[in-house]
A and B are shown apart, each in its own frame.
Chain A
Amino acid sequence: MYDQDRAVIERILGGDKKAYAELVERHKDKAMTLALKMLKNRQDAEEALQDAFVRVFNALPRFEWKSSFSTWFYRIVYNVCASELGKRNEPHQVSIQEDNEDAQAVELASDDTPPDVALESSELNAIILKEIDRLPDAYGPTFALFFVQDMSYDEIVEVTGLPLGTVKARLFRARMLLRNAVVKRIGNIDGSKQEKVA
């Protein structure tokens, strides 16, 4: 991906501006996932993403390859979406309480024994995807960057500008919320199945 991006960017900077369509095509869907996680509205997300792509194009000559293109690109997408949230008076605030992930562990870790999970189960798949969509606004973007964009903690810090502790705490809380919700849902499914058998 890195090399492919670099080759296309070199073509664009060499004057082949139509090559930018390749870059847009390659990144639009994953970037859309991030934008939608932040803005929660498809039309707003698409407009913000369009704006971000135009900004990226204009800023390409100044890109110095200090980070990967995707990290730089997602930082612009994230900033455009955060700015849009700011216009709605819904800023992405950083909470000091989030910085201590161990404190959250006590609060969130459930004592119940998780049920057996069949990894290929389509039912489990649907439950997890639904619960991912229901994650609180503050955790969705970090979760998407980690799992969908496959970024490291450091890259997420670079994209979001959040402190490392906050990034770790948000991911930790998101995963625990997801885990608890899934355990609850699977437990309910198992319970209803047992009731039907009885």
Chain B
Amino acid sequence: MTHLTTKQILQFTDGALDYASQAQCTQHLAVCERCRKEIDLQKAISKIARHQPPIQATSGFVQRVMAHIIPQQQKSWKTKLIDSLGNVFAMAMVLAILGYAISNPSLFQIQQQSKTQSFIPQSVSDTYAKFIQSVGQQAGEATQQVMKSTGRDNSNMISLTILSLLILGALDQFVLKRYLGMRMKH
């Protein structure tokens, strides 16, 4: 008996034969056990290959792709404003505090001296004052000249500036942007 060719078996399995060839193959399969088994095996292979579980991408894949997509978008003027508003506000606050301190040196000097004398032991306050002075000396000639022109110790100014920057940085990062961002989303 002449068996079906491998090509015929695959085409029969895929349903890719024309009507006449399909009928011819069906006739043969009715009497040929070998070809029937071959078709069964190919059908099993096709079925399992078609339903094999796809290999899953790792979790977070979509987010990683989208992270490449979203930065390509132009930020709206509102977003840009929110992003820059915090920084502008912080700088304005620092400048205002500095300006106030320069124009009123006696106020800060008295307050600082009284606090140091009442709450901090003398040895600690001396060390602190020396440290601040050494930082002040390294802060640059221009800054020192400004400090000297106000006629008071520059350590107060430097510590005040650092403190202001830290407070305003935290305010900008954790309060201002977050609050305004939430307002924008709603």
Q: What are 26 A-to-B residue pairs whose CB atoms are below 8 Å?
A: A21-B65, A24-B62, A28-B61, A29-B56, A29-B57, A30-B54, A50-B61, A54-B65, A54-B68, A54-B69, A105-B7, A114-B34, A114-B37, A114-B41, A115-B37, A117-B40, A119-B40, A119-B43, A125-B48, A128-B49, A143-B49, A172-B6, A175-B42, A178-B45, A178-B49, A182-B45
Instruction: Give Cα distance in the complex from A119 to B37, angstroms.
Output: 11
- Count how many pairs of residues, one from A and one from B, have CB atoms less than 8 Å apart in the complex: 108
Taking chain B's interface residues, is the majority helix, strand, or loop, or is none over half, making it mixed?
helix
Please state if A33 and B55 are interface contacts (CB–CB under 8 Å): yes
Check A129 for interface membership: any CB of B closer than 8 A. yes
Kindly provide the distance from the CB of B178 to the nearest chain A CB, expressed in whole angstroms: 22
Please state if B58 and A46 are interface contacts (CB–CB under 8 Å): yes
Give the bracket for the number of chain A residues in contact with chain B: 35 or more
New contact pairs (4) apart from A125-B48, A172-B6, CB-CB < 8 Å? A21-B62, A53-B68, A117-B40, A150-B50
Check A116 for interface membership: any CB of B closer than 8 A. yes
Instruction: Give Cα distance in the complex from A29 to B62, angstroms.
Output: 11
Please state if A129 and B52 are interface contacts (CB–CB under 8 Å): yes
Please state if A124 and B48 are interface contacts (CB–CB under 8 Å): yes
Please state if B65 and A183 are interface contacts (CB–CB under 8 Å): no
B42 contacts across to A, CB distance below 8 A: 175, 179
Check A11 for interface membership: any CB of B closer than 8 A. no
Contact residues of A between 107 and 133, Cβ < 8 Å to B: 108-109, 113-117, 119, 124-125, 128-129, 132
Check B5 for interface membership: any CB of A closer than 8 A. yes
Residue among B7, B40, B55, B68 with the highest chain A CB neighbour number at 10 A: B55
- Report the 9 A-B pairs with minimum CB-CB distance, sorted nearest first: A29-B54, A147-B49, A109-B6, A128-B48, A114-B37, A114-B41, A53-B65, A28-B57, A105-B6
Please state if B73 and A17 are interface contacts (CB–CB under 8 Å): yes
Instruction: Give Cα distance in the complex from A125 to B10, angstroms.
Output: 19
Check B88 for interface membership: any CB of A closer than 8 A. no
Check B38 for interface membership: any CB of A closer than 8 A. yes
The answer, among A33, A58, A109, A128, for a CB contact under 8 Å with B45, is A128
Please state if A108 and B6 are interface contacts (CB–CB under 8 Å): yes
Check B44 for interface membership: any CB of A closer than 8 A. yes
Please encode chain A, from 53 to 97, with 1 for each CB lying within 8 Å of some chain B CB and 0 for all others: 110011000000000000000000000000000000000000000
The answer, among A20, A113, A132, for a CB contact under 8 Å with B69, is A20
Check B75 for interface membership: any CB of A closer than 8 A. no
A117 contacts across to B, CB distance below 8 A: 37, 40-41, 44
Check B80 for interface membership: any CB of A closer than 8 A. no
Please state if A113 and B34 are interface contacts (CB–CB under 8 Å): yes
